[in-house]
Amino acid sequence: MLEHNKNRTQEMSVSLEQTLNEYINDHWDNVLRIKSTSDLRKQSGEAMDSIIAPDALPRNKLVARYEPDTGKLFLIPKPFRQWCGEQQINYGAFVSDMVSKLGAKREKARLGKGTPFKLKSQDCIVVKFSEDKDETSGITDL
């Protein structure tokens, strides 16, 4: 019976990627989706901070920035920590797992880069999504 319960608990566990997907789904309207500005060194005399048209602007509060061309997701820790608490997920353990298993990093980033907003850099959790195909469905990840 103990072995049966252990197997059942392992089946009920959710992967890191699935949990991140749930977070993004819950905050879809609060994610800035914009192409990276890292390759705009100098184009026809303009500065690196030239404005890029975002794919989507946040409607309420900014919780993350996603760059589809680089596959990077920049998570703001405070709303992510709050969401983890609401979902009864251990934030510290989850972030440690993201660092060890997904190669996430803690670094400072300017989330408003490429937009008219000149925000200062702030602490973020940066996750780079791979373009591996899902074995079961052939769907490409973020």
Average pLDDT score, the chain = 76
In this predicted structure, what is the pLDDT of residue 4? 61
Determine whether 21 is exposed, middle or buried from the number of CB atoms within 10 Å of its CB (0-12, 13-18, 19+): middle
Question: Is position 32 within any domain?
Answer: yes
Question: Is position 47 within any domain?
Answer: no
Q: In the predicted model, what is the mean pLDDT of residues 2-21? A: 67
Query: In this structure, what token pair is assigned to residue 104?
Result: 């996430």
Per residue in 69-92, pLDDT (tens digit) is 888 999 999 999 999 999 999 999
Q: In the predicted model, what is the mean pLDDT of residues 103-109? A: 93
The torsion angle over the Cα atoms of residues 111, 112, 113 and 114, rounded to 10 degrees, is: 140
Length reported for the chain: 142
Question: Is position 90 within any domain?
Answer: yes
Q: What domain range includes position 77?
A: 14-36+52-128
| Residue predicted with more confidence, 47 or 74 | 74
For the chain, what is the domain count? 1
Question: Is position 100 within any domain?
Answer: yes
Please, are residues 63 and 70 in contact by the beta-carbon 8 Å criterion? Answer: no
Report the greatest alpha carbon distance in the chain.
Answer: 71
Model-level pTM greater than 0.75?
no
Question: Is position 121 within any domain?
Answer: yes
